[in-house]
Amino acid sequence: MSSLSIPPPLLRSSHSPSPPAAAAAKANWRKRAARVRVRAPVAALAGDGGCAGTGMEQQHLQAGSASGSPVREKPVMSNIGKSTNILWHDCPIGQPERQKLLGQKGCVIWITGLSGSGKSTVACALSRELHYRGHHTYVLDGDNLRHGLNRDLSFKAEDRTENIRRVGEVAKLFADAGTICIASLISPYRRDRDACRALLPDSRFIEVFMDLPLELCEARDPKGLYKLARTGKIKGFTGVDDPYESPVNSEIVIKMEGGECPSPKAMAQQVLSYLEKNGYLQA
């Protein structure tokens, strides 16, 4: 593997920049090219200079024919789930390059807990604090995702499982993009949370357990849902007539201190300290 610098493409169109703008763009381009050092196989750049592929392209071209022209071998296709004949394709700009650009490590902060335990509050407080410190974050909130991506899912066990699986996969993509992804979902089943953890290597899945008593969450009841659940108007409400399996190995546990719930700022600070201490806030 050689270490190459791939400059970002300069677009040429009818909207080409004027000479001073072009000079500025060129200077900017040089700066970016210097910052983004890309590890890519030379052969990957020999073609169109675009995507490096899985390495398979090089493999396909390795064996030459008697006439000296390269022979293309058949790519090895995969069958994953219900998808047949699919091929993974890699690009030369990967997670390390994106992380370097952003000055942080892409990861998933998975906040789990009962409705009303403060998941969204911590997620937003943390996102705000990180943003002000110059870090790139994105919040995936269970309630919000059920307005779009997961609108076809109910709250029965198998739909909750599918909800968590989808969000786990999306969160993984955000982490791969170099973003600090904050996922905030009840995620009541341990095996579903663990399956999301298994998607992310190298300690990039950080579980935050909102270990606050049901009584407190129910007393808060900001949406009136506990009341509806207690009067039977909502069936299968987590903590009332649906299970919540507490985590046993969370990286961070947020709980009452001296009979009081820590302030939103203190809760966010607890997560922030963990990120700082463990090197996530540098590339």
Ligand X SMILES: Nc1ncnc2c1ncn2[C@@H]1O[C@H](COP(=O)(O)OP(=O)(O)O)[C@@H](O)[C@H]1O
Ligand Y SMILES: Nc1ncnc2c1ncn2[C@@H]1O[C@H](COP(=O)(O)OS(=O)(=O)O)[C@@H](OP(=O)(O)O)[C@H]1O
Among 264, 269, 270, 281, binds ligand X (CB under 6 A): 264
Instruction: Report how far residue 110's alpha carbon sits from residue 56's, in angstroms, rounded to the nearest whole number.
Output: 35
Please list the residues that pair with 253 across neighbouring strands: 209
Q: How far is the CB of 184 from ligand Y (least distance, A)?
A: 7
225 binds, among ligand Y, ligand X, none (CB under 5 to 8 A by kind): ligand Y
Q: Which parts of 121-140 interact with ligand X (CB under 6 A)?
A: 121
Q: How far is the CB of 79 from ligand Y (least distance, A)?
A: 29
- Helices and strands, number each (H, E), in the chain: 11, 9
Question: So which residues are the catalytic ones?
Answer: 187
| Closest residue to ligand Y, based on beta-carbon distance | 142
Element (H, E) at 139: strand 137-141
Instruction: Report how far residue 213's alpha carbon sits from residue 152's, in angstroms, rounded to the nearest whole number.
Output: 30
- Which residue's CB is nearer to ligand Y, number 136 or number 193? 193
User: Mapping DSSP to helix (H, G, I), strand (E, B) and coil, where does residue 24 land?
Assistant: helix
Q: Which parts of 208-247 interact with ligand Y (CB under 6 A)?
A: 223, 225, 234, 236-238, 242
220 binds, among ligand X, ligand Y, none (CB under 5 to 8 A by kind): ligand X
Q: How far is the CB of 104 from ligand Y (least distance, A)?
A: 26
Q: What are phi and psi of 126, to 5 degrees?
A: -70, -45
Give start and end residues of each alpha helix (H) in the chain.
19-35, 42-46, 56-62, 95-102, 119-132, 142-145, 157-176, 190-199, 214-220, 225-230, 264-277
Q: How far is the CB of 197 from ligand X (least distance, A)?
A: 20
Residue 271 interacts with ligand X (CB under 6 A): yes or no: no
Q: Which parts of 182-241 interact with ligand X (CB under 6 A)?
A: 220, 222
Among 104, 115, 121, 137, binds ligand Y (CB under 6 A): 115
* Cα angle, residue 72 at apex, residues 68 and 75 outer, rounded to 5°: 160
Element (H, E) at 183: strand 180-184
Q: Are the CB atoms for 245 and 109 separated by under 8 Å?
A: no
Among 104, 120, 121, 179, binds ligand Y (CB under 6 A): 120
- Which residue's CB is nearer to ligand X, number 108 or number 261? 261
Applying CB under 6 A, the residues found at the interface with ligand Y are: 115-116, 119-120, 142-143, 146, 155, 160, 163-164, 185-188, 223, 225, 234, 236-238, 242
Applying CB under 6 A, the residues found at the interface with ligand X are: 113, 115-121, 220, 222, 261-264, 267
